[in-house]
Chain A
Amino acid sequence: MTRYFNTVVVALSLVVLFGGPAFLGRGVLNDIWNVAFAVVLASIWNILGGLAGQVSFGYSAFLGIGAYATVLLSHQGWNAYATIPVGVVLAALFSVLIGLPTFRLRGPYFTIATIGISEAVRVFAQGMTFTGGSSGKRMPGSYGAFLYKLLPGVSRGLAVFLENYYAMLLLAVLVIVVVWVIQNTRFGLALSAIKQDIDAAEALGINATAYKVWAHALSAALMAVAGSLYVVAFQYVAPNSVFAFSMSLQIVLMPVIGGVGTLIGPIIGGVVFGYLQIKLLSIPALQSSNLFIYGLLLVLVMLFEPGGILGLVKRALRPLSRGRAREEVRNVA
């Protein structure tokens, strides 16, 4: 029954999301893009941060690498979507480079090291000329638009938008499928073992460092794709946007709020956070207190429900089943 219900929900939402452009306005589509982007970021972080329990504040670096690969190669005349593999390879290589030394660290030490790395990358990017320094870089005027040639009735601007919309949705589906596959294979079991007790995992013959490096590289590669799509959508990138500390923070915040280490948690976190952010930014009175709200959410989640929103829902549902069980016990007695 539940399985049937889940399938229906997933199928319906896929139909709405992918068929959306046929009946939804541009504003709503834009919101959907933003929420999908948030879900993508949250789910990618969840691979290393949730499944393997390695909390990293360094993911903005990979997002930035993807974004900059796309911008810089587009200026060389590349098609924006053809630049994605380049960003993917660079991000994966960089993730291995920083992963090999830092994965020797455990728990908070690893986390602090990743804060150091992401800040070093930001300072470096701001100091270099090829990134455009603090003022950033703009996409060249003409890029992408496969759909433009295929659909004669669609204007160029809309074609560019739709391309990016579908690309982001496909990425979201891909990332969720990747997480699901990881969870249901040996790889996921190994990550889960590392999360629970790294010493015990290594005693059982799991090469913890290798698994962590692979998970890091995989998530870095996916993050670079997200970065490429991000820059195509906003047509502009600066060290202060993609490499910013607030970006790293946001990436961590979403899965933590939703519920780390699960498939659904980061999706919930991404949807709630992405939607909240859109709504918060449209209310002037709340614009200046977004940090406060994020901080408060983090404190509340950590103090009262480390399982996030998903944990809260589970806890809310638990008394029902416990009550039923108690009733049954009473009936038997």
Chain B
Amino acid sequence: MAELLSITVNAIFMAGLYAAMSFGLALIYGVMKIINLAHAGVIMLGAFFSFTLFQYAHIDPFVSIIVAFPVFSALGMALHRYVVSRLPESGNTPAVQSLLLLFGVWLMLQNLGYYVWGSDTQSVLTTYTLKSVKLGPITVGIPILLMFLVGVVTFIILNQVMTKTYLGKAIRAVTQNRQAALLVGINARKIAMIAFGIGTGLAGVSGSMMSALYAFTPDFGRNFLLKAFCIIVLGGMESLSGVAVGALVVALAEAYVARYLVSNVFQDAITFALLVVALVVMPQGLPGLSAQLGRYFRTKEVARS
């Protein structure tokens, strides 16, 4: 029982990190209807960014995320301005073309990583990396706790921005209906560039803080990209709260299946299997599923009366 509780709580904390790394992907998908495969490359660069800062300036990874956000946002905006926006408009269905293009960008980033930092496995060893705190009967590693906090803070800030500011409202308008947004005078191209910047910045932040927990090479990030994709599919592709729920589902599923069903070796395979199942069984994600269930029960009630 204590073990189950411990696994559950740890998975919930893990979900904070999973959500933080998925927000950017969902944001970019929402506005541009493209799947940003370069996300993985940015996560990797984020990890090496804080690694470099830690090595040469002894800046803690959780402090370096403050620098990482603007740096990677700028990178994202430049990427959008000079590469992504040159693609022909794809309308409402994402085109395979953008997928392959961003795949190419990812490869270039990866090679850049090899070029600058070599192919050795690196890690950031802070004073608290291996420490943990006791919350009653449960032990939680400090890095995971901090990541959870960053994830929650990111969620709150993003939510505020999306509901309270013009920028957020414009982003949501373009997400819902690009044509209509253009009609009411929103500069959709500019909004897309900013959204791409924020999304890339968030990827950089999550990569940056991951360096405190994981060892990484320039190949780092691929598994997390697929996890993030699984999460946004579960979350219904576009909503932030959907992402949070999706992150929770993935983190819990991983933890339980790895503990009670199969060996640790296959832990990553679980996410990939979950991804395929989620795509196939509920293409609308969990929100779509709950809506469907609601409709099902309602019709049943109607039939009974």
Contacts and interface: CB of A to CB of B under 8 A. Distances in A.
A274 B226 CA distance: 29
B156 interface: no
A113 B280 contact: yes
Interface in A282-306: 288-292, 294-299, 302-303, 306
How many interface residues does chain B have, given as a range?
A: 35 or more
Contacts of A324: none
Contact of A108 (B94, B112, B230): B94
Nearest to A306: B97
A127 B266 CA distance: 7
B226 A302 contact: no
Contact of B104 (A55, A112, A127, A297): A297
Interface string A73-114: 000000000000000000000000000011011111101110
B272 A117 contact: yes
Nearest to A118: B272
Contacts of B283: 105, 109
Nearest to B29: A108
Given A120-B273, A123-B268, A295 B114 contact: no
A111 B266 contact: no
A113 B279 contact: yes
B83 A124 contact: no
Main secondary structure of the interface of A (DSSP, over half): helix
Interface in B257-305: 263, 265-266, 268-269, 271-273, 275-276, 279-280, 283
Contacts of B101: 298-299, 302-303
A126 B267 CA distance: 12
What 8 A-B pairs are tightest by C-beta distance, nearest first?
A298-B104, A295-B107, A292-B111, A295-B108, A127-B265, A120-B272, A291-B111, A299-B104
Given A291-B108, A299-B101, 13 more contacts: A55-B96, A108-B98, A111-B96, A115-B226, A119-B268, A120-B268, A123-B272, A256-B100, A291-B111, A292-B115, A295-B111, A299-B104, A302-B98
Interface of B: 34-35, 83, 86-87, 93-101, 103-112, 114-115, 222-223, 226, 229-230, 263, 265-266, 268-269, 271-273, 275-276, 279-280, 283
26 contacts: A101-B280, A105-B279, A105-B280, A105-B283, A107-B94, A108-B94, A109-B283, A113-B276, A116-B226, A116-B229, A117-B272, A123-B265, A123-B266, A123-B269, A124-B269, A126-B265, A127-B269, A289-B115, A291-B110, A295-B104, A295-B105, A295-B109, A295-B111, A296-B108, A298-B100, A302-B104
